[in-house]
Structure 1
Amino acid sequence: MTALAEGVHAVCEGSTRDLEAVGVSVPATLDRGGKVVTWPGRPGWTGLDLAGSLDLLFPGTPVRYADDGDLAALAEAHAAGVRHLVHLGVGTGIGGGIVLDGRLCPGTGRGSCEAGHIIVDRGGPRCDCGRYGCLQAVASGPATLRRAAALRGGEVPFTELGGALARGRSWAVEAVEESCAALAAAAVSLAELVRPDRITIGGGFAAGLPDFAERVRRHAQRLARPGGPPVEPAAAALGGLSSLQGALLLARGPA
Protein backbone atom coordinates (compact mmCIF):
# COMPACT_ATOMS: atom_id res chain seq x y z
CA MET A 1 0.00 0.00 0.00
CA THR A 2 2.94 2.31 0.63
CA ALA A 3 4.31 1.59 -2.83
CA LEU A 4 0.87 2.24 -4.33
CA ALA A 5 0.60 5.58 -2.53
CA GLU A 6 4.06 6.59 -3.72
CA GLY A 7 3.21 5.68 -7.30
CA VAL A 8 -0.11 7.55 -7.22
CA HIS A 9 1.46 10.71 -5.82
CA ALA A 10 4.22 10.55 -8.39
CA VAL A 11 1.75 10.27 -11.27
CA CYS A 12 -0.56 12.94 -9.83
CA GLU A 13 2.34 15.22 -8.89
CA GLY A 14 1.42 15.11 -5.21
CA SER A 15 -2.31 15.84 -5.48
CA THR A 16 -5.32 13.66 -6.37
CA ARG A 17 -7.83 16.54 -6.25
CA ASP A 18 -8.33 16.70 -10.02
CA LEU A 19 -9.19 13.02 -10.45
CA GLU A 20 -12.75 12.38 -11.65
CA ALA A 21 -12.85 8.69 -10.74
CA VAL A 22 -10.56 5.75 -10.03
CA GLY A 23 -10.85 2.13 -11.11
CA VAL A 24 -8.90 -0.59 -9.35
CA SER A 25 -8.20 -4.14 -10.53
CA VAL A 26 -7.99 -6.47 -7.52
CA PRO A 27 -6.65 -10.06 -7.51
CA ALA A 28 -7.92 -10.79 -3.99
CA THR A 29 -11.43 -11.84 -2.89
CA LEU A 30 -13.19 -8.99 -1.09
CA ASP A 31 -16.31 -8.91 1.05
CA ARG A 32 -19.14 -6.44 0.42
CA GLY A 33 -17.40 -3.82 2.53
CA GLY A 34 -14.18 -4.00 0.56
CA LYS A 35 -12.13 -6.01 3.06
CA VAL A 36 -9.78 -8.74 1.81
CA VAL A 37 -11.29 -12.12 2.66
CA THR A 38 -8.64 -14.26 1.02
CA TRP A 39 -5.72 -14.00 -1.35
CA PRO A 40 -3.98 -17.41 -1.36
CA GLY A 41 -0.85 -16.05 -3.00
CA ARG A 42 -0.60 -13.17 -0.52
CA PRO A 43 -1.93 -14.41 2.84
CA GLY A 44 -0.56 -11.37 4.65
CA TRP A 45 -3.22 -9.22 2.99
CA THR A 46 -6.12 -11.10 4.61
CA GLY A 47 -8.21 -8.71 6.69
CA LEU A 48 -6.93 -5.54 4.99
CA ASP A 49 -9.62 -2.85 4.67
CA LEU A 50 -8.78 -2.15 1.04
CA ALA A 51 -11.80 0.08 0.46
CA GLY A 52 -10.90 2.21 3.47
CA SER A 53 -7.27 2.42 2.38
CA LEU A 54 -8.29 3.54 -1.10
CA ASP A 55 -10.64 6.16 0.33
CA LEU A 56 -7.74 7.59 2.30
CA LEU A 57 -5.53 7.55 -0.78
CA PHE A 58 -8.15 9.21 -3.00
CA PRO A 59 -10.16 11.50 -0.66
CA GLY A 60 -13.32 12.83 -2.23
CA THR A 61 -12.85 10.80 -5.41
CA PRO A 62 -15.24 7.99 -6.45
CA VAL A 63 -13.30 4.71 -6.30
CA ARG A 64 -14.63 1.56 -7.95
CA TYR A 65 -12.91 -1.80 -7.69
CA ALA A 66 -13.52 -5.27 -9.04
CA ASP A 67 -11.81 -8.61 -9.57
CA ASP A 68 -9.01 -8.53 -12.13
CA GLY A 69 -10.46 -11.44 -14.10
CA ASP A 70 -13.86 -9.77 -14.27
CA LEU A 71 -12.30 -6.54 -15.49
CA ALA A 72 -10.25 -8.36 -18.11
CA ALA A 73 -13.50 -9.81 -19.44
CA LEU A 74 -15.12 -6.36 -19.47
CA ALA A 75 -12.21 -4.92 -21.45
CA GLU A 76 -12.10 -7.82 -23.91
CA ALA A 77 -15.84 -7.51 -24.55
CA HIS A 78 -15.43 -3.79 -25.17
CA ALA A 79 -12.48 -4.36 -27.51
CA ALA A 80 -14.35 -7.05 -29.46
CA GLY A 81 -17.58 -5.06 -29.61
CA VAL A 82 -19.69 -7.91 -28.18
CA ARG A 83 -22.31 -7.98 -25.43
CA HIS A 84 -21.71 -11.51 -24.12
CA LEU A 85 -18.21 -12.84 -23.43
CA VAL A 86 -16.34 -15.38 -21.31
CA HIS A 87 -12.69 -14.72 -20.49
CA LEU A 88 -10.11 -17.08 -18.98
CA GLY A 89 -6.79 -15.61 -17.89
CA VAL A 90 -3.84 -17.95 -17.35
CA GLY A 91 -1.04 -16.72 -15.12
CA THR A 92 0.09 -17.42 -11.56
CA GLY A 93 -3.50 -18.52 -11.06
CA ILE A 94 -6.52 -18.77 -13.33
CA GLY A 95 -8.62 -15.64 -13.49
CA GLY A 96 -11.87 -15.36 -15.33
CA GLY A 97 -14.83 -13.20 -16.04
CA ILE A 98 -18.25 -13.25 -17.66
CA VAL A 99 -19.92 -10.32 -19.37
CA LEU A 100 -23.65 -10.64 -20.08
CA ASP A 101 -25.49 -7.93 -21.98
CA GLY A 102 -22.49 -5.67 -21.54
CA ARG A 103 -22.35 -6.00 -17.75
CA LEU A 104 -20.23 -8.02 -15.37
CA CYS A 105 -21.75 -11.23 -14.02
CA PRO A 106 -22.45 -11.65 -11.13
CA GLY A 107 -21.77 -7.91 -10.87
CA THR A 108 -19.73 -5.64 -8.63
CA GLY A 109 -20.69 -5.96 -4.99
CA ARG A 110 -21.92 -9.54 -5.51
CA GLY A 111 -18.60 -11.37 -5.69
CA SER A 112 -16.48 -12.28 -8.67
CA CYS A 113 -16.56 -14.94 -11.37
CA GLU A 114 -14.12 -17.48 -9.94
CA ALA A 115 -13.64 -19.51 -13.12
CA GLY A 116 -10.35 -20.79 -11.77
CA HIS A 117 -12.20 -22.77 -9.13
CA ILE A 118 -14.43 -24.70 -11.49
CA ILE A 119 -13.67 -28.36 -10.74
CA VAL A 120 -12.36 -30.05 -13.87
CA ASP A 121 -10.81 -33.16 -12.30
CA ARG A 122 -12.33 -34.71 -9.17
CA GLY A 123 -9.15 -36.69 -8.61
CA GLY A 124 -6.88 -33.81 -9.48
CA PRO A 125 -4.20 -31.98 -7.52
CA ARG A 126 -4.89 -29.83 -4.48
CA CYS A 127 -5.62 -26.18 -5.23
CA ASP A 128 -4.43 -23.18 -3.21
CA CYS A 129 -8.04 -22.78 -2.10
CA GLY A 130 -7.95 -26.18 -0.37
CA ARG A 131 -10.12 -28.12 -2.81
CA TYR A 132 -8.92 -30.74 -5.26
CA GLY A 133 -9.17 -30.60 -9.03
CA CYS A 134 -9.86 -26.91 -9.56
CA LEU A 135 -9.02 -25.54 -13.00
CA GLN A 136 -6.35 -23.39 -11.35
CA ALA A 137 -4.67 -26.45 -9.82
CA VAL A 138 -4.48 -28.11 -13.23
CA ALA A 139 -3.93 -25.33 -15.76
CA SER A 140 -2.26 -22.32 -14.09
CA GLY A 141 1.29 -21.36 -14.98
CA PRO A 142 2.86 -22.94 -11.88
CA ALA A 143 0.75 -26.12 -12.31
CA THR A 144 1.87 -26.46 -15.92
CA LEU A 145 5.51 -25.93 -15.00
CA ARG A 146 5.29 -28.53 -12.22
CA ARG A 147 3.84 -31.03 -14.68
CA ALA A 148 6.57 -30.25 -17.20
CA ALA A 149 9.25 -30.73 -14.54
CA ALA A 150 7.80 -34.08 -13.53
CA LEU A 151 7.68 -35.27 -17.14
CA ARG A 152 11.17 -34.05 -17.93
CA GLY A 153 12.72 -35.11 -14.65
CA GLY A 154 14.12 -31.71 -13.75
CA GLU A 155 13.18 -28.09 -13.16
CA VAL A 156 11.71 -26.23 -16.14
CA PRO A 157 11.87 -22.42 -16.21
CA PHE A 158 9.07 -20.66 -18.09
CA THR A 159 11.48 -19.30 -20.68
CA GLU A 160 12.65 -22.82 -21.48
CA LEU A 161 9.13 -24.25 -21.67
CA GLY A 162 8.18 -21.96 -24.56
CA GLY A 163 11.22 -22.93 -26.61
CA ALA A 164 10.75 -26.63 -25.94
CA LEU A 165 7.09 -26.38 -26.91
CA ALA A 166 7.98 -24.66 -30.18
CA ARG A 167 10.47 -27.46 -30.94
CA GLY A 168 7.87 -30.13 -30.18
CA ARG A 169 9.59 -31.66 -27.15
CA SER A 170 7.24 -34.37 -25.90
CA TRP A 171 7.41 -33.40 -22.22
CA ALA A 172 6.60 -29.76 -23.02
CA VAL A 173 3.78 -30.63 -25.41
CA GLU A 174 2.17 -33.05 -22.97
CA ALA A 175 2.40 -30.62 -20.06
CA VAL A 176 0.86 -27.74 -21.99
CA GLU A 177 -1.78 -29.81 -23.77
CA GLU A 178 -3.10 -31.07 -20.43
CA SER A 179 -3.59 -27.48 -19.31
CA CYS A 180 -5.24 -26.54 -22.58
CA ALA A 181 -7.60 -29.52 -22.35
CA ALA A 182 -8.67 -28.45 -18.85
CA LEU A 183 -9.24 -24.87 -20.02
CA ALA A 184 -11.28 -26.15 -22.95
CA ALA A 185 -13.46 -28.19 -20.59
CA ALA A 186 -14.10 -25.09 -18.49
CA ALA A 187 -14.80 -22.97 -21.57
CA VAL A 188 -17.27 -25.48 -22.98
CA SER A 189 -19.04 -25.80 -19.63
CA LEU A 190 -19.37 -22.03 -19.24
CA ALA A 191 -20.63 -21.73 -22.81
CA GLU A 192 -23.42 -24.17 -22.00
CA LEU A 193 -24.54 -21.85 -19.20
CA VAL A 194 -24.22 -18.36 -20.69
CA ARG A 195 -23.99 -18.80 -24.50
CA PRO A 196 -21.32 -16.14 -25.07
CA ASP A 197 -20.61 -14.42 -28.39
CA ARG A 198 -16.91 -14.85 -27.76
CA ILE A 199 -14.50 -16.74 -25.48
CA THR A 200 -11.04 -15.28 -24.93
CA ILE A 201 -7.89 -16.84 -23.50
CA GLY A 202 -5.46 -14.36 -21.96
CA GLY A 203 -2.97 -13.85 -19.17
CA GLY A 204 0.80 -13.58 -19.25
CA PHE A 205 1.48 -17.30 -19.15
CA ALA A 206 -0.82 -18.04 -22.09
CA ALA A 207 0.51 -15.11 -24.09
CA GLY A 208 4.09 -16.33 -23.67
CA LEU A 209 3.57 -19.80 -25.15
CA PRO A 210 3.27 -20.64 -28.87
CA ASP A 211 -0.31 -21.14 -30.14
CA PHE A 212 -1.71 -21.52 -26.63
CA ALA A 213 -5.21 -20.24 -27.43
CA GLU A 214 -5.29 -22.28 -30.62
CA ARG A 215 -4.48 -25.41 -28.61
CA VAL A 216 -7.40 -24.64 -26.30
CA ARG A 217 -9.64 -24.13 -29.34
CA ARG A 218 -8.75 -27.54 -30.76
CA HIS A 219 -9.57 -29.26 -27.48
CA ALA A 220 -12.86 -27.34 -27.29
CA GLN A 221 -13.81 -28.51 -30.77
CA ARG A 222 -13.40 -32.12 -29.66
CA LEU A 223 -15.88 -31.48 -26.84
CA ALA A 224 -18.56 -29.99 -29.08
CA ARG A 225 -21.98 -31.63 -29.11
CA PRO A 226 -24.73 -31.53 -31.76
CA GLY A 227 -27.02 -28.61 -31.06
CA GLY A 228 -24.67 -27.19 -28.45
CA PRO A 229 -23.37 -23.63 -28.42
CA PRO A 230 -20.46 -22.95 -30.78
CA VAL A 231 -17.24 -22.69 -28.76
CA GLU A 232 -14.26 -21.10 -30.50
CA PRO A 233 -11.80 -19.81 -27.86
CA ALA A 234 -9.44 -17.17 -29.25
CA ALA A 235 -6.45 -15.26 -27.94
CA ALA A 236 -7.30 -12.16 -25.90
CA ALA A 237 -6.89 -8.94 -27.85
CA LEU A 238 -5.43 -6.84 -25.04
CA GLY A 239 -2.89 -9.24 -23.59
CA GLY A 240 -1.54 -8.40 -20.17
CA LEU A 241 -3.20 -4.96 -20.12
CA SER A 242 -6.78 -6.26 -20.18
CA SER A 243 -7.38 -5.94 -16.43
CA LEU A 244 -6.10 -2.37 -16.34
CA GLN A 245 -8.17 -1.44 -19.38
CA GLY A 246 -11.15 -2.92 -17.59
CA ALA A 247 -10.41 -0.82 -14.51
CA LEU A 248 -10.58 2.31 -16.67
CA LEU A 249 -13.94 1.21 -18.06
CA LEU A 250 -15.17 0.54 -14.52
CA ALA A 251 -14.07 4.02 -13.42
CA ARG A 252 -16.22 5.57 -16.13
CA GLY A 253 -19.39 3.97 -14.83
CA PRO A 254 -20.98 0.91 -13.19
CA ALA A 255 -20.46 -2.42 -14.97
Structure 2
Amino acid sequence: MILLGIDIGGTKVAFRAEPDGADSHESSFIWPESGRVADDIAALHRHAEEVLARTGQSVAAVGVSVPATLDADGRVTSWPTRPSWRGLDLVIVLGELFPRAELRWGDDGDLAAVAESHASGLADLVYLGVGTGIGGGIVLGGRSVPGPRRGSCELGHLIVDRQGERCDCGRRGCVQAEASGPATLRRASAARGTRVSFAELRHGYAEGAGWAVAAVEHSCAALAAALVGVGELVRPDAAVIGGGFAAGLPGFVEETARQAARLSRPGHPPPPIGPAVLGGRSSLYGAVLAAKGGTLA
Protein backbone atom coordinates (compact mmCIF):
# COMPACT_ATOMS: atom_id res chain seq x y z
CA MET A 1 0.00 0.00 0.00
CA ILE A 2 1.14 3.52 -0.81
CA LEU A 3 0.99 6.71 1.16
CA LEU A 4 0.88 9.52 -1.37
CA GLY A 5 1.53 13.23 -0.95
CA ILE A 6 0.57 15.70 -3.69
CA ASP A 7 1.63 19.34 -3.67
CA ILE A 8 -0.53 21.35 -6.07
CA GLY A 9 1.31 24.54 -6.99
CA GLY A 10 0.70 27.47 -9.26
CA THR A 11 3.26 26.30 -11.81
CA LYS A 12 3.76 22.59 -11.18
CA VAL A 13 2.42 19.62 -9.24
CA ALA A 14 4.75 17.43 -7.17
CA PHE A 15 4.13 13.86 -5.98
CA ARG A 16 5.85 11.86 -3.26
CA ALA A 17 4.97 8.18 -3.03
CA GLU A 18 5.96 6.10 -0.01
CA PRO A 19 5.22 2.44 -0.83
CA ASP A 20 5.36 -0.42 1.65
CA GLY A 21 8.69 -2.20 1.51
CA ALA A 22 10.16 0.05 -1.18
CA ASP A 23 12.04 3.31 -1.48
CA SER A 24 10.08 6.52 -1.64
CA HIS A 25 10.19 8.43 -4.89
CA GLU A 26 9.24 11.89 -6.08
CA SER A 27 8.11 13.25 -9.44
CA SER A 28 6.42 16.32 -10.85
CA PHE A 29 4.83 17.87 -13.92
CA ILE A 30 4.20 21.38 -15.19
CA TRP A 31 0.61 22.54 -15.64
CA PRO A 32 -0.62 22.77 -19.26
CA GLU A 33 -0.32 26.25 -20.72
CA SER A 34 -3.99 26.47 -21.66
CA GLY A 35 -5.10 27.15 -18.08
CA ARG A 36 -8.32 25.22 -18.69
CA VAL A 37 -9.45 23.14 -15.75
CA ALA A 38 -10.26 20.14 -17.99
CA ASP A 39 -6.67 20.11 -19.29
CA ASP A 40 -5.30 20.46 -15.77
CA ILE A 41 -7.36 17.54 -14.45
CA ALA A 42 -6.38 15.38 -17.43
CA ALA A 43 -2.70 16.08 -16.74
CA LEU A 44 -3.24 15.26 -13.07
CA HIS A 45 -4.87 11.96 -14.03
CA ARG A 46 -2.04 11.03 -16.40
CA HIS A 47 0.69 11.67 -13.87
CA ALA A 48 -1.15 9.89 -11.07
CA GLU A 49 -1.54 6.83 -13.31
CA GLU A 50 2.18 6.90 -14.08
CA VAL A 51 3.04 7.05 -10.38
CA LEU A 52 0.73 4.14 -9.54
CA ALA A 53 2.00 2.06 -12.45
CA ARG A 54 5.57 2.58 -11.26
CA THR A 55 4.86 1.36 -7.74
CA GLY A 56 2.45 -1.45 -8.60
CA GLN A 57 0.64 -0.94 -5.29
CA SER A 58 -2.75 0.46 -4.39
CA VAL A 59 -3.07 3.74 -2.50
CA ALA A 60 -4.04 3.66 1.17
CA ALA A 61 -4.20 7.40 1.79
CA VAL A 62 -3.60 10.63 -0.11
CA GLY A 63 -2.65 13.99 1.36
CA VAL A 64 -2.95 17.07 -0.81
CA SER A 65 -1.61 20.57 -0.24
CA VAL A 66 -3.47 23.25 -2.16
CA PRO A 67 -2.86 26.98 -2.68
CA ALA A 68 -6.50 27.61 -3.61
CA THR A 69 -9.15 28.67 -1.11
CA LEU A 70 -11.57 25.81 -0.41
CA ASP A 71 -14.86 25.76 1.41
CA ALA A 72 -15.62 23.24 4.17
CA ASP A 73 -16.75 20.66 1.61
CA GLY A 74 -13.59 20.87 -0.51
CA ARG A 75 -14.92 23.06 -3.32
CA VAL A 76 -12.58 25.72 -4.76
CA THR A 77 -13.93 29.19 -4.03
CA SER A 78 -10.90 31.16 -5.24
CA TRP A 79 -7.59 30.60 -6.99
CA PRO A 80 -6.55 33.78 -8.81
CA THR A 81 -3.63 32.20 -10.65
CA ARG A 82 -5.88 29.45 -12.09
CA PRO A 83 -9.34 31.02 -12.18
CA SER A 84 -10.84 28.15 -14.19
CA TRP A 85 -10.69 26.04 -11.00
CA ARG A 86 -13.30 28.14 -9.26
CA GLY A 87 -16.25 25.93 -8.36
CA LEU A 88 -14.26 22.71 -8.84
CA ASP A 89 -15.15 20.00 -6.32
CA LEU A 90 -11.73 18.73 -5.29
CA VAL A 91 -13.24 15.85 -3.33
CA ILE A 92 -14.89 14.48 -6.47
CA VAL A 93 -11.71 14.91 -8.52
CA LEU A 94 -9.57 13.12 -5.93
CA GLY A 95 -12.21 10.45 -5.41
CA GLU A 96 -12.14 9.64 -9.12
CA LEU A 97 -8.35 9.47 -9.07
CA PHE A 98 -8.08 7.38 -5.90
CA PRO A 99 -11.48 5.70 -5.36
CA ARG A 100 -10.46 3.46 -2.46
CA ALA A 101 -8.03 5.79 -0.67
CA GLU A 102 -8.60 7.93 2.38
CA LEU A 103 -8.39 11.58 1.32
CA ARG A 104 -7.05 14.48 3.36
CA TRP A 105 -6.17 17.99 2.26
CA GLY A 106 -5.05 21.33 3.62
CA ASP A 107 -3.69 24.74 2.70
CA ASP A 108 -0.18 24.47 1.29
CA GLY A 109 1.26 27.05 3.68
CA ASP A 110 -0.35 25.48 6.74
CA LEU A 111 0.88 22.01 5.79
CA ALA A 112 4.36 23.34 5.01
CA ALA A 113 4.56 24.99 8.43
CA VAL A 114 3.57 21.74 10.13
CA ALA A 115 6.18 19.83 8.10
CA GLU A 116 8.87 22.36 9.03
CA SER A 117 7.89 22.11 12.68
CA HIS A 118 8.27 18.32 12.52
CA ALA A 119 11.57 18.50 10.65
CA SER A 120 13.16 21.16 12.86
CA GLY A 121 11.75 20.05 16.19
CA LEU A 122 10.49 23.59 16.86
CA ALA A 123 7.01 23.81 18.33
CA ASP A 124 6.66 27.54 17.57
CA LEU A 125 7.56 28.83 14.14
CA VAL A 126 6.42 30.91 11.18
CA TYR A 127 6.82 29.64 7.64
CA LEU A 128 6.81 31.64 4.40
CA GLY A 129 7.03 29.90 1.04
CA VAL A 130 8.16 32.05 -1.89
CA GLY A 131 7.28 30.69 -5.31
CA THR A 132 4.68 31.50 -7.96
CA GLY A 133 2.73 32.96 -5.06
CA ILE A 134 3.48 33.29 -1.38
CA GLY A 135 2.07 30.85 1.12
CA GLY A 136 2.57 30.80 4.82
CA GLY A 137 1.71 29.13 8.05
CA ILE A 138 2.12 29.50 11.79
CA VAL A 139 2.65 26.68 14.28
CA LEU A 140 2.34 27.45 18.00
CA GLY A 141 2.76 24.78 20.63
CA GLY A 142 2.93 22.23 17.83
CA ARG A 143 -0.52 23.23 16.55
CA SER A 144 -1.40 24.96 13.32
CA VAL A 145 -2.91 28.44 13.67
CA PRO A 146 -5.74 29.36 13.20
CA GLY A 147 -6.64 25.67 13.03
CA PRO A 148 -9.09 23.46 11.14
CA ARG A 149 -12.42 24.93 10.06
CA ARG A 150 -11.22 28.45 10.78
CA GLY A 151 -9.56 29.13 7.45
CA SER A 152 -5.93 29.08 6.42
CA CYS A 153 -3.10 31.34 7.53
CA GLU A 154 -2.85 33.74 4.57
CA LEU A 155 0.50 35.38 5.30
CA GLY A 156 0.92 36.11 1.60
CA HIS A 157 -1.96 38.56 1.81
CA LEU A 158 -0.65 40.68 4.65
CA ILE A 159 -0.49 44.26 3.34
CA VAL A 160 3.01 45.71 3.52
CA ASP A 161 2.57 48.69 1.18
CA ARG A 162 -0.80 50.41 0.79
CA GLN A 163 0.40 52.04 -2.43
CA GLY A 164 2.09 48.90 -3.70
CA GLU A 165 1.56 46.60 -6.65
CA ARG A 166 -1.85 45.18 -7.44
CA CYS A 167 -2.23 41.66 -6.07
CA ASP A 168 -4.11 38.82 -7.74
CA CYS A 169 -6.63 39.11 -4.90
CA GLY A 170 -7.54 42.63 -6.03
CA ARG A 171 -5.85 44.62 -3.24
CA ARG A 172 -2.63 46.57 -3.40
CA GLY A 173 0.58 45.89 -1.54
CA CYS A 174 0.08 42.31 -0.37
CA VAL A 175 3.31 40.46 0.35
CA GLN A 176 2.53 38.22 -2.61
CA ALA A 177 2.28 41.20 -4.97
CA GLU A 178 5.57 42.63 -3.71
CA ALA A 179 7.76 39.58 -3.11
CA SER A 180 6.63 36.49 -5.04
CA GLY A 181 8.83 35.00 -7.73
CA PRO A 182 6.90 36.58 -10.63
CA ALA A 183 6.76 39.95 -8.83
CA THR A 184 10.53 39.92 -8.33
CA LEU A 185 11.15 39.00 -11.97
CA ARG A 186 8.78 41.74 -13.20
CA ARG A 187 10.64 44.31 -11.10
CA ALA A 188 14.01 43.08 -12.34
CA SER A 189 12.79 43.18 -15.95
CA ALA A 190 11.55 46.74 -15.56
CA ALA A 191 14.86 47.84 -14.05
CA ARG A 192 16.92 46.13 -16.74
CA GLY A 193 14.69 47.18 -19.60
CA THR A 194 14.26 43.67 -20.96
CA ARG A 195 12.59 40.49 -19.83
CA VAL A 196 14.60 38.67 -17.16
CA SER A 197 14.51 34.91 -16.61
CA PHE A 198 15.08 33.31 -13.23
CA ALA A 199 18.50 32.06 -14.35
CA GLU A 200 19.46 35.60 -15.38
CA LEU A 201 18.24 37.02 -12.08
CA ARG A 202 20.20 34.43 -10.14
CA HIS A 203 23.37 35.21 -12.11
CA GLY A 204 22.84 38.96 -11.94
CA TYR A 205 22.27 38.88 -8.19
CA ALA A 206 25.38 36.76 -7.64
CA GLU A 207 27.41 39.24 -9.71
CA GLY A 208 25.98 42.25 -7.89
CA ALA A 209 24.20 43.73 -10.90
CA GLY A 210 22.25 46.79 -9.77
CA TRP A 211 18.98 45.81 -11.47
CA ALA A 212 19.05 42.36 -9.81
CA VAL A 213 20.11 43.56 -6.38
CA ALA A 214 17.41 46.23 -6.30
CA ALA A 215 14.68 43.77 -7.31
CA VAL A 216 15.71 41.16 -4.75
CA GLU A 217 16.20 43.67 -1.92
CA HIS A 218 12.69 45.06 -2.49
CA SER A 219 11.20 41.59 -2.22
CA CYS A 220 13.24 40.73 0.85
CA ALA A 221 12.22 43.99 2.54
CA ALA A 222 8.54 43.15 1.98
CA LEU A 223 9.02 39.68 3.44
CA ALA A 224 10.94 41.12 6.39
CA ALA A 225 8.14 43.56 7.16
CA ALA A 226 5.62 40.72 7.20
CA LEU A 227 7.76 38.49 9.40
CA VAL A 228 8.56 41.26 11.86
CA GLY A 229 4.87 42.11 12.11
CA VAL A 230 3.90 38.50 12.75
CA GLY A 231 6.73 38.24 15.28
CA GLU A 232 5.23 41.11 17.26
CA LEU A 233 2.02 39.11 17.58
CA VAL A 234 3.05 35.53 18.26
CA ARG A 235 6.74 35.57 19.29
CA PRO A 236 7.83 32.42 17.42
CA ASP A 237 11.11 30.66 18.11
CA ALA A 238 12.07 31.06 14.45
CA ALA A 239 10.88 32.06 11.02
CA VAL A 240 11.77 29.91 8.03
CA ILE A 241 11.61 30.74 4.33
CA GLY A 242 11.06 28.05 1.74
CA GLY A 243 9.48 27.67 -1.67
CA GLY A 244 11.17 27.00 -4.98
CA PHE A 245 12.02 30.60 -5.78
CA ALA A 246 13.67 31.31 -2.44
CA ALA A 247 15.44 27.95 -2.36
CA GLY A 248 16.90 28.54 -5.82
CA LEU A 249 18.30 32.02 -5.18
CA PRO A 250 21.42 31.96 -2.95
CA GLY A 251 21.50 34.83 -0.50
CA PHE A 252 17.75 35.51 -0.62
CA VAL A 253 17.03 34.28 2.90
CA GLU A 254 20.10 35.98 4.33
CA GLU A 255 19.05 39.29 2.77
CA THR A 256 15.58 38.93 4.28
CA ALA A 257 17.18 38.41 7.70
CA ARG A 258 19.28 41.55 7.22
CA GLN A 259 16.22 43.55 6.23
CA ALA A 260 14.37 42.27 9.29
CA ALA A 261 17.23 43.25 11.58
CA ARG A 262 16.85 46.85 10.35
CA LEU A 263 13.25 46.81 11.59
CA SER A 264 14.03 45.66 15.12
CA ARG A 265 13.18 47.83 18.11
CA PRO A 266 14.96 47.95 21.48
CA GLY A 267 14.26 44.88 23.53
CA HIS A 268 12.22 43.25 20.78
CA PRO A 269 14.45 41.63 18.18
CA PRO A 270 12.78 39.89 15.25
CA PRO A 271 12.69 36.09 15.30
CA PRO A 272 15.72 34.33 13.85
CA ILE A 273 15.16 33.92 10.11
CA GLY A 274 16.67 31.01 8.22
CA PRO A 275 16.06 28.71 5.29
CA ALA A 276 13.39 26.03 5.45
CA VAL A 277 14.82 22.70 6.59
CA LEU A 278 12.99 20.98 3.74
CA GLY A 279 13.98 23.56 1.13
CA GLY A 280 11.40 23.93 -1.61
CA ARG A 281 9.56 20.74 -0.62
CA SER A 282 7.94 21.75 2.67
CA SER A 283 4.40 21.68 1.25
CA LEU A 284 5.02 18.28 -0.34
CA TYR A 285 6.22 16.80 2.94
CA GLY A 286 3.27 18.41 4.67
CA ALA A 287 0.99 16.61 2.23
CA VAL A 288 2.68 13.33 3.12
CA LEU A 289 2.14 14.04 6.81
CA ALA A 290 -1.54 14.60 6.06
CA ALA A 291 -1.67 11.24 4.27
CA LYS A 292 -0.15 9.62 7.34
CA GLY A 293 -2.90 11.04 9.48
CA GLY A 294 -0.98 14.03 10.76
CA THR A 295 -3.41 16.69 11.84
CA LEU A 296 -3.38 20.46 11.69
CA ALA A 297 -5.16 20.61 15.02
- Report the TM-score when normalising by structure 2: 0.81
CA contact 1:16–1:58 (8 Å) conserved in 2 = no
Whole-angstrom distance in 2 between the partners of 1:237 and 1:15: 28
- Aligned counterpart for 1:5 among listed residues 41, 45, 49: 45
Secondary structure of the 1:99 match is strand
The 5-angstrom pairing of residues 101-120 of structure 1 reads: 101-120=141-160
What CA deviation, in whole Å up to 9, does each residue of 1:68-107 have, x standing for no partner?
1111111111110011111111111111111122122122
Cα drift, residue 18 of structure 1: 4.4
The corresponding residue for 2:242 is 202
One-letter code aligned to 2:89: D
- Of the structure 1 ranges 176-185 and 105-114, higher mean CA displacement relative to structure 2 is found in 105-114
Report 1:72-221 matches (<5 A).
72-221=112-261
Structure 2 partner of 1:67: 107
Does the 8 Å contact 1:200/1:234 carry over to 2? yes
CA distance in 2, matches of 1:135, 1:125: 9
Partner of 1:45: 85
The Cα of 1:244 is off from its aligned counterpart by 0.9
Residues 206 and 213, structure 1, Cα contact 8 Å, conserved in 2: yes
Give the C-alpha shift of residue 2 in structure 1: 2.6
Deviation at 1:52, TM superposition (A): 2.2
Give the match for residue 16 of structure 2.
none
Q: Cα offset for 1:203?
A: 0.9
| Contact 2:129-2:136 within 8 A present in 1 as well | yes
Q: Deviations over 1:181-235 (max 9, x none)?
A: 1100000111111111111011111112121100000111111112325422101
Task: Give unpaired runs (5+ residues) of structure 1.
Answer: none
Q: For residues 109 and 64 of structure 1, what CA distance do their matches in structure 2 show?
A: 14
- 1: CA distance, partners of 2:59 / 2:198: 39
Aligned twin of 1:223: 263
The residue identity in structure 1 corresponding to 2:161 is D
Cα offset, 1:11, TM superposition: 2.8
Q: Counterpart amino acid of 2:194?
A: G
- Say which SS state the counterpart of residue 21 (structure 1) adopts: strand
The aligned length equals 255
Alpha-carbon distance, 1:140 to partner: 0.7
> Which of 71, 75, 78 lines up with 1:31 in the alignment?
71
Alignment of 1:238-253 (within 5 A): 238-253=278-293
Equivalent pair of 2:260/2:270 in contact (CA under 8 Å): no
CA distance in 1, matches of 2:248, 2:138: 23
Overall identity of the aligned pairs, in % = 61
Query: After alignment, is 13-22 or 35-44 more displaced?
Result: 13-22
RMSD, aligned α-carbons? 1.8
Distance in 1 (alpha carbons) for counterparts of 2:139 and 2:91:
24
Amino acid across the alignment from 2:83: P
Distance change (3 Å), C-alpha of 1:62 and 1:159: same
**Distance in structure 1 (CA, Å) of the matches to 2:198 and 2:53:** 38
> Is the contact between residue 59 and residue 100 of structure 2 (CA under 8 Å) also seen in structure 1?
no
